[in-house]
Structure formats: structure tokens, C-alpha cells
Structure 1
């Protein structure tokens, strides 16, 4: 039985192997590289192997399934596969420009060429990566407009990349007309328009630079920049006087302080400027009254002062803030006098006296001082000060020595030391400031100290601040900052001392990207109210962060803090609490005229003791140019931070500014304000101010006249929009064809007209540039008519006896009128064409010396009386010059012998036969150039002069200007031409041949 089973297996096994062999793949395809990557518009090469695993050869065909739109660069053929043969193939395909980002499949098949049976297939993927290509093109834009018109330009924005993009359109000196964010699919384009409003009040031609940028993810992808000229439409006369600037205003003030309505009027006159044309004498003054100090937020108390200065003297008298030194008297408002004398060597000395107005504890102060200033950074000063207090008999005396210097290029220091005496008691004060930068490090610090018995501006005070930072990487900056403020200052009663504070801060700043910043810092701080009824005294330790970013027109700033606060005004065990604070500031710029900002804060600081503590603060502000002459700004806030109650806090503020004319303004203001130290009972203020700018004439410095004109066409109708240039100024004609140039300095100038809007055959009826003489205090009227020009063309031709016309060239012609002349040279075919000329009487002159040797022209002058639109084609005949031959007697005897009695001339005698008109012709010309190759008359070398004679001498092409009968005449002209041609010299010609150069004569 086992034998039978073995026999059956032996018979079945070969049969199974044969069946398996029949099912085995005859052909295989293998890609060498998988997951290829490329970009649009590139050629990608795909290598692969095709192998025949069969023992027999076979005819095959290769098929390639490309993604839609893709095309093969080369034709790949596969005809026969031999037994066990493997072939290497490369498929090259170009990626279309419009192919979007993504993976694309490419399939390859091998089929039996005879039966069509598919023998093998394989699939590969090709990754098309992203390509960004945003372009911006200017379609149309006016080059110039008139003041008051709206400028409008159009651009074509194109996405030539392969992914959908949102492009932001950013502009300078114009606004986008419509949405600034434009979404484009691959291959898509969009039309963009920009606009710009202009003011009719424009006084002079203005050149604006219009810029439009296409921005993608904060990067500028393309930009278009072009200039725009804005021409004034109103007449503005130049001020002929030197004026002193003065500003006068009258205000109506009102307030509801303490629920009582109060109002008042106030007048103010001020001036600030030089009182001489050489800017040597400066005058400043202010006159304001009557007194309205009860409307104190506006700060409009009465004030009167005047100040004068020149390079040697400074003098001030009246009410203002006077300064001595930061330690002795930082700022004291009152009635005073200051006189300072300045010497040429950097030394100065002065005297100051002031009677305080708002600080009643001081009766008066005076000081004498001397300074030495080497330059802006290196100075030294010494002060001696006396203070007379109202409640102390003995005056206080203070002495101060201060200096500032710059020991190194990036290091500055400032020092002050002072000692004060009050009776038998004396004390000191010191001040120091340092700022330095070295390598990647920056350090800045200040220190102020005043002893408890020091009788200066500060007493019993200590203030310091210091910061140290290092720029570790281009985008990373780290550092530490410390500060303490404990200052007792003799401030005027209009101010309140800031609270005591100290803080320590460790920070890290990271510049994430362009206009994107992140700041992280640990902060330890203490703040204490220094008023008698304390509102706060707390200490906080917190981790803080701040993020700011500007995206196109949107800007944002986010701040956060988390930590723990100890409130020292609460009982123990209840005075510690977690602290957190979140604030935001968001802004949006609609365009150059309108913007809005919103802000808010949410906090829990456990810092204050008050009946109504608010934890949420929110508000917004708006700035808008409503009309051309009206500006407005509004600020609103729902609450306030009690921490800031030592300063004024606005809950509402609005201002409207209307420009009636250039020098007249109307301003309306309104405030709702919490005063310093107040937490309740806000007060409301309204003011209306009319302001006028006045220029007081001191001296007439300019004499000037006016130029008025009008441009009309051939039918007498006005021509609008024609640009006229005059004395480095430009104007554009209005609807009546009028233009004007006001306040022009007397003199002779050239007026020119832009012909870009003329028809091709039109031109001004007068010669331009037009010479215009301006006379002081007079008007010059110019009327210019536009007419059709006349055209003269023609050719030279040689007329032979058989009437066959031959051409001759390079002859010089000049067309001349009373005011203008044109000199040209006919071309090698004898043709010539003059520019368009004004219809008038003209003379055509042909230069004889330029006529080719051996030819002559009977008529060398032509007279023309051109009419508008004339087109004359002139033919000038050139004929061969006739020569008469004279046989001179050489003792020839006649005889009947020989050959008819006529004796044959010998060779020597024959050589003496010459033309009857043969004479030595001598003239002079000016050689301006010599070249190895011929130079065309249009070459830049000739600088518009051209040339009159061209000679080839000694293998050089030499060029000459002019034909003069006398040497003296040639020398005079040579001196003129040397300004343009440095190597010009005079050459003598005899019988049309150059003899010698006589440049030295």
C-alpha cells in the first residue's frame, strides 16, 4: 500500500510543479526610488527595471498612466524581452505649473504586444511640494492729478504658486479700495484698487510716493512703487515777509466740581521763534489770563512770561518752572528771573531768582552758577543756592557740584554731590547715573540719596534703580532689574508724592518673529501708600508673562500674572491670598484715517482697603479723520485701578478738532476725571477753544512777481491738464486752460510745456523753452496757442544728361527762423527730414563745403512761409561741376610738313594743361575728434553738435566743425567748442586738403 502511495505522489508532484510554473509571473516591474518629491514646472526622472522571468522571449509593449495634465518629456519604448532579460528604463515627466500640493500616482503596465494580455503593473507616488509665487503688477495709474481729486490706481495680484493663499495688501500713502485680505487659488488673479484723497488747499506741487505691497505670512512677496505728482489748483502767493509766529486763542471752560457748575473764559497769546532773518535772536512769550486755577485739571491758571536768547545771552522773566539741579531744586514753579551769559570757550555763568507760587513753605529762592560744556557729553557745573522758608528765620544754603562725561564710546556717566546748611545743621545729598554697553551686555543704573537734614528738593530720601541684561542670542535677551523709590520731595501742591515702592525682577525676552515678542519674568514687589489715610500696603511675588504681536492691521498684547500677595492692612491669617491678573490690549488700523483700540484687565490682587473694590477694568479708544478738516478721538473706561490713585485718571475723554482754514482751528474737549487721591466722585469738564495762528511781519525779505498764462488749441478752446514747467516748479492747466506761478523772484527764466497730451502733429505756436522775464510786483501774462506744425523733408539727386537720377548724401543743411535753427546732415542716400517746426518764415541754407567734390548746387538758399499743417517735400538737384581746359602756348609752330602741319605736344608740355578756374582755396575749420573707425553723426560724442566735415587722413577718420575764412574767426569759435570738446583745435585747409593744426595761435 505504501508503494502505491509513493507512486501516486511521484506522478502528482511533476504535474503540480508544471501547474505552478504556468501560474508564475512572466514579467516583473521594480521602481528603484519610491516616494519621489518635486515642485511644479520641474522635470522628474523615474528609474525602473523590467525583467522577463520566462525561459522564452516575448514581444511586449509599455504603457504609462500619467496624472491628468502631466506629459512625458521623452518617449520610452520597450519592444522585446529576451529570456531572463532585465532592462533599465527612465521615465521623464514634467510637472505642470498648476499642479497643487499633494501626492500623485503614476502607474506603469507591461502587456504582450501580440495578445494584449497584461503581464505586469506597478504603482509609484510622486510628492509635489508647495511653491509660493505671489506677483503684483501695476495695470494703470495716473502720473499726475490735481489737488482735490481722488487718486485711483489698479493692480493685478496673481498666485502663480500651487496652493491657495490669503494675501494681505499693505499700502503707503494710499488706501485699499475694498477688502485688504485677498484669497487666491493656484493660478488665480485678482484686481486690486487703491485710492488717495487729496486736499484742495495744497499750496505747491507735491510729489508723493505710492507703494503697494503683497504680504504673505508677514513676508513681503512683491511690491510696486511709483511716484505721483499732485498739482495745486488754488493760487497761493508766497509770503514776502519774514514773520514772527504768534498763536492766539480764546477758550470757554466749564466744570461741575463738587456738583457746582462753574464756567469761565480765558484768553491766551503766545509766540516762539526768531525775530531776525539770520536766526540769531530768539524770543518766546506767553500771556494767559484771567486765573482759572479752580478748573485745575485743565491746568489753565494765569501765566505771564517772556524769554530772550542769543548765542551769548539767555534771559527769562515771569511765571514758569525754574530749575537749578536735580538735588537742590529740580523744578519750582513761580515768578522769577533767570539770566545766563555764555562765553565762546564753553564757559557760562548765570543767576536765578524765583518766588514759588504753589509751595507756600518757601518764600523765595536764588542761585548763582557757572558751567563749562566741552561738548554734548562732557560738562561740569557748580551751583550756590539760597532758600528762604516762610516759617524759619535763617535761610538754607546749598552748594552743588555736578558733572557728566563720556569715558568710552558707549558709556556715559552723570554725578552730583551737594551739601546743605540750615542754621547749625548740615547734611549731604548725592546722585549718580551710569549707562554702558560692552560686548553683549548692557548696564544702566541710578542712585539718589538725600540725608534727613538735607534742605534741598529731596530730604530723607533714597532712590535707586539698576538693570543688567545680556543678548545671548539674536532673538533672546535675559536680565535683572531692581528698583526702590522712597522720595520725600518738596513738590508744588498741584502734585502728590508717588507711593513708596520697591521691586526686583528677573526677565527673559524672546523675539519669536518679526513683530512678535514674548517676555517672561519673575517679580517681587512692595507698594505702600504714603498719605495719612492709607489705601494700600502690600507685597506681591508673581510669575508674569507678556506677549505682543502685530499681524497686518491687527495688533495685540496679552499680559498675565500669578502669585501670592500679602496685604499688610489686614489681620494675620487673612492677609495672604493668591494673586492673578490678566490684561489685554487689542488694536485695529482700518486705514490711514481710522483706528480703534480695546483694552481690559481682570485681577484679584488683595491689595486695597476700600468700600468698593473693582476687579474688572475695560475700555476702548477711537481715532478717526471723519472729514478732510475734522479729526476726532474718543477714550472710554468703565473703571480704574485704585493702585494708580496718586495720579489723575480719565474715565472718559473726547476731542474734536476742526480746521476752519489753514490758520484757524476750533477744538472741543470733554473729560470725566478722577483727581489724585480720589476713589469716588469723578468730575466732568468741557472746553471749547478757538485758535488762530498769526505771522507778525517784521521785514520784507523777498521781491517777487507773478506769471499767469493760458493755453488754447488751434480753434481757440482751452486745453486742460497740460503740465507747464517754470523755474524748477510745475503747474497744470485747469478747465479754462489757465496756469499760474505766484511769488517768483525777479529774473529771466525758461518756461517749458509738456507735449505728452498733444497730437503727433501739434506743437506750441511759440518757440519753447520760452524766455520769460519776471519783474518785481508785476504780473506777466502769457497766452500760448497750440497749432499744427509744418514739416520739411527732401532729397539731393544728381541729374545727368541722360536724365537718369543718381543720389548723393552727407550734405549739411540748416533751417533757420528768427528765433530757432536746426542743422542736420542728409543721409547716405541724400534724404533729409527736419523736425516739426512752427508755422512762420524759415530759410533753408545748404553748406557749400559739405557738397561732394566735383559737384555743385545752383541754388543754396530757399525761403519758406510755412502754414499750419504744411508738409513740403523738396528735391534739390546736384550737377557735375563744369571745367574749361585752356591750352597754354609752348612755342608750337605750324607747318605744312609732316602730319598736317600740327606739332605733337611733348609729355612735359601736356602736363601743364590745367583748368581755367584753378585757384588756391584756403579756409579754416576746427577738428573735434579722430577715430580709427567711422563714427555716426548721432553718436553721443558729438553732444548734439554734429559735424560739418569728415576726412579720412592717415587711416584715421577725422571730424571738423565750421568753415571760416579767417583764422581769428576760427580761434574765437574754437574757444567756445573747447567747453564741450577738450581736445578741439584749429586746422588750415588748402584746396580742400588739411595743411596743419594751429591750436597754439
Structure 2
């Protein structure tokens, strides 16, 4: 504070200051600063001068007035001013953390000794805006059963200083209530979210939900939450490897040709592997009868089978057979293909096909060979023979193709072909390039077919090229050019697209998150290729496209303005300024329901019609009506005439109802314009029932089941307890039951989550519980929950000894048939064992841990602990009695010198000598116990290794060192405890560990 005042003084004296205030004839007040800008929770210092303008001393007092809620930190004192004296004062005030944004005034008032207001002035303080929204999870369901509704409650707080409307955005859940929350400064509200789960789940799933608080598209705070969904339906694992087959039956109806027609169709298909190793793949389709006249979907009859393994590919039947893009691209018909693949990348094969929908070709035969180094590097050679109907001369085509990747982000594809028909020969070429380097992306393709080339394309040139550069993280610029194919020899079931060419220059600008702007100049030409031309026009226009997502609403706007030349009109009137406006609006109500609306308005001078204006509008809706029912609707009033080369839905309605995971019913209705049609739409209705079938090929495993029930001692079932076995987890139901199905045979550990138990409750069996699963059998468990018992106590001195013992670190053991607990006393000699199962227990005091010079009367206690019992045990400890034992000694007297005295010789009785070997009795340090055997080089031993390994009670125990005395063993244990926590001394007798007290 003093430092700040000093800085202000230096500033005033060296630079001067602006004078603000109000003067009287005697006293004036001058603020150094006016109109300060601060933030909430800040401390602001406001310096000012009080000046005595008279030649007499004046008794004064100061009163500072601050806005409500503001606190003055410094204590200001002003009792008098000497003649012509000026006094420097600083007002320090703290702005409240929740102070609303706005302008405030702080005033200073000077009073004389009679409490008359001599002078007063004020300074303005602007509190700026702070945006701070905090979102916290209050409560939620972590474990729920399938079919239940997940619920969670959040607290949202406005810690800023202005009123805000916060949008609550969620992922994988829905807000239960209003998604827009209005909060005043300091205000908080509860937000509830829900998520419905399917009761069809057959395995435990871990799902994440996310809730975000957003202001103007920016995430202010977010909370992630994890939940586990446990199945309520048991799932019996399929023990067989199966081949997947789909079967369906369809009903088709139409008002085609102004008459009602209907038909039915059956389809059976399969696509999958025939073995578990995925070496043999089979695909087939059987569909009939032929109903292509009733459905624009192309539901003609079709029959084929295809087999593939590592070295062979074989196909027979009606299928689209592929050649090369230049020679024949693909041809639908009845045929056969066989391909043989060698392990070195070489392959060869042939294709024979009788086209179905292109009547001018009688048959085609091709042989080919390929070398493939990997997916992106290969070379292919094709030879094709075509027999045209009514023509004796055969057509021959030869093609050489290659694909390679010269650089990591560059791929190239090339093809060159030469065709012969009689004495006429011509060439065709194709090239594709995709590359990325530095800030540039390049892509392009070029197709050329000579005038007399007899392949899929004749007298055709097609190209497309795109170049773009990311000149800024938010800005992408580039150009795109394209010219369409011509003279494609397509199946008559389809139609050649219009001729078109275009050139486009564009700039893409990523304005903000989920906000994009594209501006481009476009030059394009489109020409009808039907016999009676409907359009041929060229357009030059400036276009802009803007798209943005705001909360659940997203939209895009497109506008174009330019000039169109209609070549089907006279030169006098074929040019016109044209414009086009289109929009696409989408709203996501929640995770189940969404709606989209779109429309276009234009006056493009494109078609030979009386009115050049075109209005197109439509609506699309998708909804999850019920758990098993989905619905969608699509409506559109019209289509552009130059879209004739594809089918156009003016209306589409669809209902999809799932009976089970493997069966569903789909009902569709279409109002459709066929290809080549520009009016006279037709209505189609279809109903299809599908069923998935798995044909068992081989039994793959043997399994068993485990079921059980968890209840308290009064038979009250425990619901919502998480039980785990192997890698599966489930939760108990209303009756406390649980079930695991399809468990492989073996011995496994079952564990129970005790978080839902009362603090003093525990299962009546040791956990984890070891159980054996037998194939084709079910193990049934009844697990009771009981009150645990606790043993605690302390060591008590029977009488006050000459010195007090150190009662800490006395080693104690509590042992039952199944469990053993070892603890040590604290410094006061107190001990407390964890909660244990009721029943018979043995309490033991390790003699070697009793302080030297002291002993206990009893080292082993047998006791029976009852449910809920709190058993206190007082252990008497006392100083050892010092016993003196006199032993018989042999005394020998003999004459010695003139003294006439006999010298005294003492010899102890000979002690018995043990006949046992020294190695039979020793001490060692136990460092670990494991359910599985460890490798001698295991990192657990940290380079120490081990001397002894013992398998006791299905556990492997490991010991380090052999010591002849307990003190040596304890000294070694203290060193080993740094690496092996909990290591303790064990006494060995005849190479078997025994209790130290029994040594």
C-alpha cells in the first residue's frame, strides 16, 4: 500500500495531474483520476487531495460514500488542515465479486467542526463485464439397469456480473426441461438431464454423457460423467461359428400407367466367412421373380455366388463384372470370373459375361494379369474381346494400367488402351493424380478416348482438376475445373448424364467455430443429351455460401448473381441477368427427433419454358417414435429439368419397426419421377420383412453358467449390488439375483462391490470367492450379508515396572479357517483389527516382538465373534522375573606354596549336544505371496532373487535368506523392508515354516 502511494506521489510531483473536484472559498477537493475502469472482485485505489485555501487552520472531518455492497479497506483520517496545507489521501475499496456491470459513483464529503458540508465531490467508476458460468454435477446415477432412465442433476451458476442466457448443450443425453437458462449475476439454477436406455442390452456397457454450458457458441464450462448400464436380460453366448444369411420378402405396388399393379419378391443373401480363421469367404444372392417394372429401385431378379480365399476368387451368375475404366468399366449380366493369386503378388484370371441390359453386345471375354506390391502399387494387363450382335467382326481391346505412390502423400493411377475393330484401330488414355505438399492440395483426372476407339467411351474427353492452398489456418483458396464424359456405352437400365463443363475460383473462410463462408466465381455450361433437347445454357455468376450452427439450429444460405445465355433461344433474347437464392434450415429437437427444410428460388434463363422462374421447396423429418419404431418423411415440390438422368423422389415416407435385433419390417412409399422423365410422377408402395439367420457351421466352445442371490441374514434381498466374474460385470435385481451366462470352464474368482453395503456389513463368505465353472452346468450361489465383528484392545501393565516398555510395533495375528490378519500396536500399545466375519478366530501375540525384559501371561486366545460384536481385549504385560539358578560344581583343592592353601578349579556341567543338523533350524524373511508361480527372473525380486519357494494353501510364498538367530533375521528384515513392504520373519524347522512361538 505504501509503495502504491509513493508511486502516485512521484507521478504527481514530476508530471502533474488533472484536477477534478469542487471548491469552496476555504477548502477544495481534487481527484487525480476520473472515470476509472475496474473488474469485479478488484481493489481500486482512488487518490485525491484536500486543500486548505485559507490562511487559518480549519478543523475538518472526511466522509466517503461508496455504492451499496462496496467495502472501504483503508481507514482515512482528516482532523484539521493548517493554513494553505494540502493533504494527500487514498481511498481503497473492493468491488464485490457479483457487482453488476455499469457506472457507479464514489463521493468524498468534507465537514467542518459544526457538521456543515463544506465541500463534496465525486468520481465515476465503470465496472466492466465479466462472463463466468460454472457448471457442477450435483447428483447422478452411476449404475443403472438396462431399460431404466438415467437421471442426473447439475447446478449452473452465473459467477459473472451481467444477466446471461445460457444454452445447455448435451451429448448422449437430453435436458429435461428448457435448454435456455436465464441467470442474473450470482444466481444459480438446477438442470436435469435424462437418457433412456434399452432393455435389449445383453452385456454391460460403459457410456459417457457430456453437458456443456454455452454462451454465444462458446463453451463456458463442461462436465463429463460416466455411467454403467447393466443388462436385465441374460445373454447366452452363441457356442457356434455361424454363417450370416439375410432373408426378406417384399410386397410391391404401383399406379404405373394409371393402373394398379402389385407383385411379391423373395430375397435370400449371404455374405461372410466359412471358417473362424477368415480364410474362406462366400457371398451369394437369390432374388426373384423379376419386378423391375414395378420399382425404380432396380429390384430385378438376380442370382449369383462368389467365393474367395487367399489364392482364388470365383464368381458365377448375374453380377456387375468389372474390367477397366477405359475398356468396359463394368457390365451387368450373366457371367463367370475366376482369378488365381500367387503369394508373390502375381495374379491372373478371366471374365466372361453376357450383358443383360445392353442388347447391342452379345458377349464379352477378358483375360488379365496383375502384379500387386501393396494396395497402392500395382500394374495390370487386360485383353478384352467383344462380340456385337449382328456384326461378324470381333472387337479387341488391350489395356495396360498402373497405380503407384511415389511419395507419402502422392498417388498416381495411369491406364493406356488400344482398341481394334476390323481394320480400324484407335487409342484411349486415363490418368489420376492426388497429392498434398506444404500448404497445397492437388487432385485431377483426365480421360481421353479416340474417335474410333471401341471401348466403354468413344470420341470422349473428360477432365477434372482441383488446386487449393491453405494460406491461413482459417483461409483456403483454390480453383476447380471439370468437363463431363460423352458417348458412354452404358447399360440401357441407366441414362447418360448431360454434358457439362465448369470452372470455379473459390475462397473458403472459417469465420469461427461452426461458422463458414465460401465465395466463388463460377463459369458453367450444361447441355441436354436426349434427342429432343430441353436445355443448353451457359452461366457466369458470382456466388456466396454461408453456413453456421447455433446451439441445435443450423442453416446455410447460398446466393448467386450473374448472366445466363440460353442457346435454345434466339440471339436477341438469349441473354439474361439471373440470380438464385437457396437455403437449408435444420433443427435437432433432441437425440431422437430432427427436422430439415430447404428451398430454392431462381430466374435462371435455362430452359425452353414460358416462365423462367423456378421455385423448389421441401421438408425432411426423422424421428425415433418408439423404442423399436423409426419414421422418416421427405417431401419436395419439383426438380430441375436437367436432373433427368437420375430418379427423383417428390415424396418418400418410411417406417422401420424392429421386432428383435434380427428381424424388422420396413414400409416405404414413394412418389417418383423415373430417369428420362420430366413429368408424370408415379406412386410406389413397398413392405419388406427382413430376418437375419445364422447357419451353425462349427461349435467353438464349451461353457457353463453361474447364478446366485445376495440377501441379508433376515432374507431381505439386496438390489443394485455390482458383481464381477472373469471379465463380466452384472448387477443384482429386485430379488437380489444375479446371473452370468456362457462362462468358459475353469476356476475363477467372484467379487462383490461393497459400496452399497452399510458400513458394518460384509458378505458371509471370504472374498473374492473362488468357484469352479463346469461345462454344460450351472453353479448356484447364495451369498448372505451379515454384520461384521471387530476385535480391538490394548496392552496393560499389571504393575508399574522400574522402566516403561515400548508398546509400539508388537506383532499380532488374528486367524480363522479362511483369513489371516496381521497388524502391529501403536505407540500406546493399542490395536484394532479390520471388520471380520463372525465365527471362530485365534488371536496370537508374536513373542519375538514383545519388548525385551517383558512378557505376557497368555500368547494365544481362542474366541468366537458374533455378528455386529465389538470385542475388546485387554492383554496384561509385565516385567520378566529374574531367576538365579545355582548349579553344582566340582571343587579340587591342592597344596600350593607355604600358604598351605588349595587352589579352586571350577568346571560347568556338560550341556547336552543336539544331534540335529544346523540347517534344520533357521530363520528366513518372507517377501511375497502370489496365486501364480513367479519366474525366478521376475522384476518383483528386484535383483535379490529368492532362496526358498513354498506352495501352501494354493499360494506360492517366497523367502529370502537363512539366518541362525532371530536378531540377524530382524536386522535383515529391516534392510529388505525398503524394497519389500510388509516383509516379516519366519521360523523354519525341518525346511518347513512354523510359527515363531512354536520354535
Same fold (TM over 0.5): yes
Measured against aligned partners, the alpha-carbon deviations of 1:8-50 in whole angstroms (never above 9, x if no partner) come to xxxxxxxxxxxxxxx9732222222222111000001112222
Q: How far 1:847 sits from its partner (Å)? A: 2.1
Superposed counterparts of 1:766-781, under 5 Å = 766-781=765-780
The farther-off stretch of 618-627 and 439-448 is: 439-448
Question: Which residue of structure 2 aligns with residue 320 of structure 1?
Answer: 319
Q: Which moved more, 1:61-70 or 1:544-553?
A: 61-70
Report whether the alignment pairs 1:988 with 2:964: yes
Separation (CA, whole Å) in 1 of partners of 2:227 and 2:740: 20
Task: Please state how far the C-alpha of 1:589 moved relative to its aligned partner.
Answer: 0.5
Inter-partner Cα distance in structure 1 for 2:843 and 2:742: 42
Partner of 2:937: none
* Matching of residue 73 in structure 1 with residue 73 in structure 2: yes
Give the equivalent residue in structure 2 for 1:25: 25
Spell out, residue by residue over 1:732-769, the C-alpha distance to the aligned partner (whole angstroms, 9 max, x if none): 11111110000000000011112222222221111211
- Structure 1 residues 492 and 660: CA distance shift in structure 2, 3 A: same
| Pair 570,718 (structure 1): closer, same or farther in 2 beyond 3 Å | same
In structure 1, the residue matched to 2:249 is 250
1:149 counterpart = 2:148: yes
Note the 1:428-439 alignment, pairs <5 A: 428-439=427-438
Q: CA deviation at 1:915?
A: 14
Q: CA deviation at 1:808?
A: 3.8
Per the alignment, do residues 874 and 497 of structure 1 end up closer, same or farther by CA in structure 2, a change over 3 Å counting? same
The 5 A counterparts of 1:626-645 are 626-645=625-644
Q: Tell me if the contact between 1:468 and 1:480 (Cα under 8 Å) persists in the aligned partners.
A: yes
Residues 805 and 876 of structure 1: is their aligned pair in 2 closer, same or farther, counting only changes over 3 Å? farther
After superposing the two structures, state which structure 1 stretch, 27-36 or 578-587, moved more: 27-36
**Residue 296 of structure 2 aligns to a residue in which SS?**
helix
Find the counterpart in structure 1 of residue 826 from structure 2. 827
SS in 2 for 1:886: coil
Alignment-derived partner of residue 868 in structure 1: 867
Q: Spell out the pairing of 1:257-336 with structure 2 (5 A cutoff).
A: 257-336=256-335
- Stretch moving more, 331-340 or 806-815: 806-815
Distance 1:981 1:588, change over 3 A: farther
2:178 is paired with a residue of what secondary structure? coil
Please list, as runs of the form range in 1=range in 2, the aligned pairs for 1:398-409 lying within 5 A after superposition.
398-409=397-408
Three-state SS of the structure 1 residue aligned to 2:405 is: strand
C-alpha spacing 1:975/1:236, structure 2 compared with 1 (3 Å):
closer
Structure 1 residues 867 and 322 mapped into 2: Cα distance closer, same or farther (>3 Å)? same
Taking a change above 3 Å as real, the CA distance of residues 81 and 915 of structure 1, as seen in their structure-2 partners, is: farther
1:305: how far off?
Answer: 0.8
More displaced stretch, 582-591 vs 470-479? 470-479
Give the SS at the match of 2:374. coil
Question: 1:57 corresponds to which residue?
Answer: 57
Q: Quote the residue 1:363 is aligned against.
A: 362
Q: 1:764 to 1:422 in 2, by over 3 A?
A: same
- 2:336 alignment counterpart: 337
Q: Distance in 2 between matches of 1:89 and 1:914?
A: 102
State whether residues 950 and 957 of structure 2, in contact with CA within 8 Å, keep that contact through their aligned partners in structure 1: no
> TM-score w.r.t. structure 1 length?
0.88
Report deviation, 1:478.
1.7
Q: CA shift at 1:185, angstroms?
A: 1.2
The verdict on how the C-alpha distance between 1:990 and 1:436 changes in structure 2, with shifts beyond 3 A counting, is closer
Q: 3-state SS of the aligned residue for 2:717?
A: coil
Question: For residues 285 and 727 of structure 1, do their structure 2 counterparts lie closer, same or farther at Cα, with a shift above 3 Å needed?
Answer: same
Cα distance in 2, alignment partners of residues 877 and 709 from structure 1: 46
C-alpha distance 124-797 of structure 1, shift in aligned 2 (>3 A): same
Structure 1's 122 and 345: CA in aligned 2 closer, same or farther, altered over 3 A? Answer: same
Partner Cα separation in structure 1 for residue 797 and residue 921 of structure 2: 26
Q: How far, CA to CA, are the matches of 2:330 and 2:771 in structure 1?
A: 60
Which residue of the partner structure matches residue 18 of structure 1?
none
User: Gaps spanning 5+ residues in structure 1: where?
Assistant: 1-22, 895-902, 930-941, 946-968
Are the aligned partners of 2:923 and 2:969 in contact in 1 as well (CA < 8 Å)? no
Instruction: Return 602-611 or 138-147, whichever deviates more.
Output: 602-611
Rounded to whole Å, the distance in 2 between the matches of 1:584 and 1:530 is 30
- Contact kept, 8 Å, 1:987 with 1:994, in 2: the verdict is no
Contact 2:671-2:682 at 8 Å conserved across structures: yes
Which residue does 1:111 correspond to in 2? 111
RMSD across aligned positions (CA): 3.2
Distance in 2 (alpha carbons) for counterparts of 1:529 and 1:624: 39
Distance in 2 between residues matched to 1:308 and 1:726, nearest whole Å: 41
1:80–1:914 Cα change, 3 Å: farther
Q: Secondary structure at the match of 2:591?
A: coil
What is the Cα deviation at residue 612 of structure 1? 7.5
Partner residue in 2 for 1:933: none
Query: Partners of 2:972 and 2:293 in 1: how far apart?
Result: 100
Residues 34, 125 of structure 1: 8 Å contact kept: yes
Describe the shift of the 1:589–1:501 C-alpha distance in structure 2 as closer, same or farther (beyond 3 A): same
Relative to structure 1, is the Cα distance of residues 409 and 801 closer, same or farther in structure 2, using a 3 angstrom cutoff? closer
Asked whether the 8 Å contact 1:136–1:222 carries over to 2, the reply is: yes
Relative distance call for 1:833 and 1:913 in structure 2 (3 A) is farther
In 1, are the aligned partners of 2:951 and 2:957 still within 8 Å (CA)? no
Q: Are 1:726 and 2:702 matched, yes or no? A: no
Q: How does 1:208-219 map to 2 (within 5 A)?
A: 208-219=207-218
**Residues 855/609 of structure 1: CA separation in 2 closer, same or farther (3 Å cut):** same
**What pairs with 1:854-933 in structure 2 (closer than 5 Å)?**
854-888=853-887, 924-927=922-925
Q: Say whether the 8 Å CA contact 1:512–1:518 is kept in structure 2.
A: yes
Distance, in Å, in 1 between the alignment partners of 2:798 and 2:488 is 111
How far does the alpha carbon of each residue in 1:836-879 deviate from its partner, in whole angstroms, 9 at most, with x for none? 22222222232222222333333332222333233322222233
Contact kept, 8 Å, 1:799 with 1:806, in 2: the verdict is: no
Residue 533 of structure 2 aligns to a residue in which SS? coil
Match of 1:374, SS?
A: strand
Q: Superposition pairs for residues 644-683 of structure 1, below 5 Å?
A: 644-683=643-682
Asked if the contact 1:989/1:995 (under 8 Å) is kept, the reply is: no
State the secondary structure of the residue aligned to 1:756. Answer: helix
Corresponding residue for 2:93? 93
Q: Deviations over 1:425-454 (max 9, x none)?
A: 011111111222222222222111111110
CA contact (8 A) 2:656 2:665 kept: yes
Q: Would the aligned equivalents of 2:923 and 2:966 in 1 still touch at CA under 8 Å?
A: no
State the alpha-carbon separation in 1 of the partners of residues 180 and 57 from structure 2: 64
CA contact 1:923–1:990 (8 Å) conserved in 2: no
CA contact (8 A) 2:631 2:654 kept: yes
How far off its partner does 1:120 sit? 2.9
Residue in 1 aligned with 2:464? 465
- The equivalent of 1:948 in structure 2 is none
Residues 683 and 792 of structure 1, relative CA distance in 2, 3 Å threshold: same
Asked if the contact 1:139/1:155 (under 8 Å) is kept, the reply is yes
Moved more, 607-616 or 827-836: 607-616
* Cα offset, 1:892, TM superposition: 8.4
> Which secondary structure does the structure 2 equivalent of 1:626 belong to?
strand
Distance in 2 (CA, whole Å) between partners of 1:991 and 1:713 is: 49
What does residue 38 of structure 2 align with? 38
| d(CA) in 2 for partners of 1:24, 1:304 | 109
**What is the match of residue 102 of structure 2?**
102
Residue 109 (structure 1) shift: 2.3
* Residues 753-811 of structure 1: per-residue CA shift (max 9 Å, x gap): 12222222221111211111000000111111112222222222232399999984433
- Residues 391-435 of structure 1: CA distance to partner in whole angstroms, max 9, x if unpaired? 321111111111122222222211111111100001111111122
In structure 2, relative to structure 1, the CA distance for the partners of 1:995 and 1:804 (3 Å cut) is closer
| 1:241 matched residue in structure 2 | 240
CA separation in 2, counterparts of 1:976 and 1:782? 23
Instruction: Report the Cα offset of residue 913 of structure 1.
Output: 14
- Contact 1:104–1:127, Cα closer than 8 Å, also in 2: yes
Shift of 1:234: 1.0
SS state at 2:626 partner: coil
Find the counterpart in structure 1 of residue 942 from structure 2. Answer: none
- In terms of mean alpha carbon deviation, does 99-108 or 735-744 score higher? 99-108
Task: Note if contact 2:792-2:831 (Cα within 8 Å) is conserved in structure 1.
Answer: yes
- Does the alignment pair 1:696 with 2:695? yes
Q: Distance in 2 between matches of 1:830 and 1:870?
A: 22
| Cα contact 1:535–1:610 (8 A) shared by 2 | no
